[in-house]
A = this chain, B = another copy of it.
Amino acid sequence: MIKGIVGVDIGGTNTVIGLFNQDLTLLEKKSLPTLKPNFPAKTNKPVEFLDELAEEINALIVKNDYQNKVECVGIGVPGIVNPESGIVINAVNLGYQDVPFAEEMKSRLALPTFIDNDVRTYTRGEVAVGAGAGLENVICLTLGTGMAAGIMIDGKMIPGANYFAGEIGHDPVPGNDTVCNCGNIGCLETIASASGIARLAKQAIQLGKPTILNGLAGEINAKEVYEASVKGDQVAIEVFKEVATTLGFKLLSATYLVNPEVIIIGGGVAAAGHFITDPIKEIFEKYYINEKKPLIVTGELGDSAGLIGAASLARAKHF
């Protein structure tokens, strides 16, 4: 009998639900707004959203005639998550504190439900059918508005002793005095993120450097910096080089520590391709004394990585 798996990727703005076959083939997906009824106050019982999410999952199952075929549900949540207890310890952007998310969903759906941090589900997606397929020692970054990493060692995702592994976005960069959203100074994600790219480009414009970015209306974003790089704009190319070099030295430290087979650059910034990966590769050629260098690649699944990874989490835990 064909078995189904539901994957859910909860984002700060939208939540995507996917119905998959056991081989992770997507049958149908749908999107709904992520409800944050009490935000910014903290809640341990976001009942409205839990109810709506369960309703939408059931509707998707019925629509595809998968009643009694779905075996399990996997959910990626942006925050500090304990994947063993299924509790969301803290999700700043959702207003969650100590939410027993897996249990609440399990009781609503009458299906085994597994949750993890969204960067770790993203990593699982790339490992299941993307850039890390077949590999067991993986560092996968999500470079978007912020940044974080998923770490897989010998085929196991690493949550860390306090579920704080991979939070490298707040690792300080020597000489960087930019204030981070977290309140600290110099965090990696003030440089290595879409926001960091936009900030550095604006800085270069303000310094009067000659660049086609100058002609753009309104706020510069990372995509525009990438497009300028493709057109050969030296200022834009230099921005990516600074970002990639800063990131590259942190990835070098990470590699000296855990010796992965592959480093996957994911998230929106991955679209910059070789403008990001080339400077990182140069650093590894020069400074990583191990003959076997890790592969340095961009993610292959884009936005879908999180959704596929959530289904992959459920498959790994349930079957």
Point out residues on A near B: beta carbons under 8 Å.
136-137, 149, 151, 153-154, 156, 158-168, 170-172, 174-175, 182, 184, 249-250, 252-254, 256-261, 287, 289-290, 292, 294
Known contacts A172-B249, A253-B168, A254-B253; decide if A161 and B287 are in contact (CB<8 Å).
no
On whether the beta carbons of A261 and B174 are closer than 8 Å, the reply is no
B164 touches A287 (CB 8 A): no
What is the distance, in angstroms, from A164's C-beta to the closest C-beta of chain B? 4
Task: Out of B151, B159, B163, B184, name the residue touching A257 (CB < 8 Å).
Answer: B151
Q: Specify which chain B residues have a CB less than 8 angstroms from the CB of A164 in the assembled complex.
A: 259, 290, 292
Q: How far is the CB of A158 from chain B (nearest CB, A)?
A: 6
Chain B residues within 8 Å of A294, by CB: 161
Q: Is the CB of B161 within 8 A of A260?
A: yes
Known: A162-B290, A184-B287, A287-B184. A167 touches B254 (CB 8 A): no
Given A172-B287, A287-B184, A289-B184, are A256 and B161 neighbors across the interface (CB < 8 Å)? Answer: no
List the B residue with the shortest CB-CB distance to A258.
B165
**Which residues from B are CB-within-8-Å of A256?**
166-168, 170-171
Identical chains bound together, number: 2
Q: Which of B137, B160, B252 is A172 in contact with, Cβ under 8 Å?
A: B252
In contact, B259 and A257 (Cβ under 8 angstroms)? no
User: Of the candidates B151, B167, B249, B252, which one forms a contact with A290 in the assembled complex, judged by CB atoms under 8 Å apart?
Assistant: B167
A159 contact set on B, CB distance < 8 A:
259
Q: Which of A159, A161, A167, A170 has the most CB of B within 10 A?
A: A161
Question: Can you list 22 A-B contacts with CB-CB less than 8 angstroms, sorted by A residue number?
Answer: A149-B257, A153-B153, A154-B158, A160-B258, A161-B259, A161-B261, A161-B294, A162-B290, A165-B258, A165-B259, A166-B257, A167-B256, A167-B259, A167-B290, A170-B289, A171-B253, A171-B287, A174-B249, A184-B289, A253-B253, A253-B254, A257-B257
Please measure, in the bound complex, the distance between the C-alpha atom of A294 and the C-alpha atom of B151, giving whole angstroms.
19
A168: which B residues are within 8 A, CB to CB? 253, 256-257
* Chain B residues positioned under 8 Å from A292 (CB to CB): 161-162, 164
Supposing A249-B172, A289-B184 touch, asked if A258 and B259 sit within 8 A by C-beta, the answer is no
Specify which of B153, B156, B158, B259 is in contact with A162 (CB 8 Å cutoff): B259
A31 to chain B minimum Cβ distance, whole angstroms, is 31
Per the bound structure, the CA–CA distance linking A164 and B259 in Å amounts to: 6
